[in-house]
Amino acid sequence: MAQTQRDLEEDVASEEKTEEPPMFRVYLLNDDYTTMDFVIFVLRHIFNKNDEEAVNIMLHVHRNGIGLCGVYSSEIAETKVKEVTGLARENGFPLQCKIEKEE
Ligand code: TYC
């Protein structure tokens, strides 16, 4: 099939574009049963926050219902969610996480 001038321009444009990999926000959700100490533990050990950051994020989630814990590649974000939910269930807590794709 003949390639038009427009097709050629599109080819050049797409070759020049430097595509960033998609990134994913991981959020913690509030609930009435998970202890504050456990959420702080999760933020310290899974999201690598220091004590002050962990307390601030935990309180933000407690007061607002949801809070951002970090932004990761798809695979790392999925792993964080599995680690959080696995650890929470092992400890009898209903703590939930969610992932949102960045625009
Ligand atoms: N709301 C919980 C409590 O009062 C604490 C909590 C904070 C739970 C953050 C979940 O993601 C969460 N024990």
- The residue ranges of every structural domain in the chain are 32-95
Q: What tokens were used for 27?
A: 């959020």
66 Cβ closer than 6 Å to some ligand 1 atom:
no
Q: Is the CB of 79 under 6 A from ligand 1?
A: no
User: pLDDT tens-digit profile of 11-69?
Assistant: 445 555 688 999 999 999 999 999 999 999 999 999 999 999 999 999 999 999 999 99
Tell me, in angstroms, the distance from the centre of ligand 1 to residue 20's CA.
35
- What gap in Å lies between CA 42 and CA 34, rounded to an integer? 11
19 phi/psi in degrees, rounded to 5: -75, 125
State in Å: Cα 74 to ligand 1 middle.
26
State residue 15's pLDDT score: 52
Greater model confidence, 6 or 14: 14
The answer to whether 87 and 46 have CB atoms below 8 angstroms apart is yes
The pTM for the full model equals: 0.86
Half-sphere exposure of 22 (CA within 13 A, CB side): 9
Which residues are CB-neighbours of 64 under 8 A, at least 6 positions away? 30
What's the start-to-end Cα distance of the chain, in Å? 35
> Whose CA is closest to atom 10 on ligand 1?
30
pLDDT at site 18: 81
What is the CATH T-level fold of the domain 32-95, as seen in this structure?
Answer: Ribosomal Protein L30; Chain: A, (3.30.1390)
pLDDT of residue 44: 98
What per-residue confidence (pLDDT) applies to 2?
53
